[in-house]
């Protein structure tokens, strides 16, 4: 972790949730919030933490940034989330990050929120986290900055993801994994590439997660919806939180299977190759 200053926070237990976009992580974030974990005050309707988006969902920054620049952005994230307060230099960095980020827009309301963090009364949160799909691309760096990290990686059936219309991560990050999307590509080609991105990004995230001091928890989204009691208990045990029984029962009612679950069964799987389908089976998914 970076050298602390007098204005930094003490070591916190941090929970981070990563996945491919569209994996159904909104409900997982809701479980964590309702369990008492602070997940941020700049969220969208999917419970994505937009502070993380502003700082890290930027392919150009990912390619060119050195370790010092990455660490500086994590200090901004930590100050906002753990202390609810920013130093002036951190506020400037955040505003610049937002302005240069092609994937998100800044507005007057966000500027007002940033300015409020310069004068807000500091707090000391020791258990907090965020959910943002692009977290999966920064697992190694997150683990290096937060020594007591609890990383949750969510996997929805790769074939359901392949046939999803949500291709934002493929378009933003495919080249990082050697996958180029060409203008005017046929739908079958894009579907193949969507699954290939799911495979390559999953492998990279889990290989990085294997090296985390606190390990990681792999969450099968289908199982999370079908067996909420078992899966939520696994999540809470891994993180180390124990809500009172009434609250825990309410958490079990949050997961719901999406209407798009199993949509791949309505499509021809002949567009995929054997190695792709073998990886799906190895990850525990039925075809």
H, E, C per residue of 81-137: HHHCCCCHHHHHHHHHHHHHCCCCCCCHHHHHHHHHHHHCCCCCCCEEEEECHHHHH
Per-residue pLDDT of the chain (287 residues; tens, 9 = 90+): 333 333 444 467 999 999 998 888 999 999 999 999 999 999 999 999 999 999 999 999 999 999 999 999 999 999 999 999 999 999 999 999 999 999 998 788 999 999 999 999 999 999 999 999 999 999 999 999 999 999 999 999 999 999 988 888 999 999 999 999 998 889 899 999 999 999 999 999 999 999 999 999 999 999 999 999 999 999 999 999 999 999 999 999 999 988 888 889 899 899 999 999 999 999 999 98
User: Which tokens belong to 150?
Assistant: 């609890």
**Which string of b and e fits 138-152 if b means at least 16 CB within 10 Å?**
bbebbbbbbeebbbb
DSSP 232: H
* Cα–Cα distance measured from residue 197 to residue 210, given in angstroms and rounded to the nearest whole number: 20
pLDDT at site 166: 87
Longest CA–CA separation in the chain, Å: 59
CA gap 139, 169 in Å, rounded: 16
- Measure the CA angle with vertex 177, ends 172 and 180; round to 5°: 60
All structural domains of the chain: 13-282 (3.40.50)
Of the chain, the percentage scoring pLDDT greater than 70 comes to 96
Write the pLDDT tens digit of every residue in 118-174: 999 999 999 999 999 999 999 999 999 999 999 999 999 999 999 988 888 999 999
């Amino acid at each position: 972790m970076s050298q602390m200053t007098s204005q930094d926070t003490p070591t916190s237990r941090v929970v981070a949730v990563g996945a491919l976009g569209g994996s159904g992580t909104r409900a997982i974030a809701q479980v964590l919030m309702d369990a008492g974990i602070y997940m941020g005050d700049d969220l969208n309707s999917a419970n994505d933490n937009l502070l993380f988006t502003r700082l890290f969902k930027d392919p150009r920054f990912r390619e060119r940034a050195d370790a010092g620049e990455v660490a500086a952005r994590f200090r901004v994230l930590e100050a906002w989330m753990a202390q609810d307060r920013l130093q002036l230099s951190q506020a400037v960095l955040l505003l610049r990050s937002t302005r240069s980020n092609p994937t998100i827009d800044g507005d007057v309301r966000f500027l007002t929120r940033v300015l409020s963090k310069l004068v807000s009364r500091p707090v000391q949160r020791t258990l907090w986290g965020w959910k943002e799909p692009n977290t999966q691309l920064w697992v190694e760096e997150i683990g290096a900055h937060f020594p007591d990290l609890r990383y949750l990686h969510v996997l929805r059936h790769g074939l359901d993801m392949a046939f999803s219309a949500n291709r934002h991560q493929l378009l933003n990050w495919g080249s990082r994994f050697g996958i180029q999307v060409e203008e005017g590509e046929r739908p079958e080609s894009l579907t193949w590439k969507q699954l290939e991105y799911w495979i390559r990004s999953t492998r990279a995230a889990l290989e990085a997660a294997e090296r985390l001091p606190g390990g990681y928890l792999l969450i099968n989204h289908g199982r999370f919806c079908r067996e909420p009691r078992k899966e939520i208990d696994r999540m809470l045990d891994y993180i180390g939180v124990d809500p009172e029984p009434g609250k825990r029962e309410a958490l079990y009612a949050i997961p719901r299977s999406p209407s798009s679950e199993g949509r791949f069964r309505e499509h021809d799987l002949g567009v995929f190759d054997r190695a792709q389908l073998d990886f799906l089976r190895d990850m525990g998914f039925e075809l």
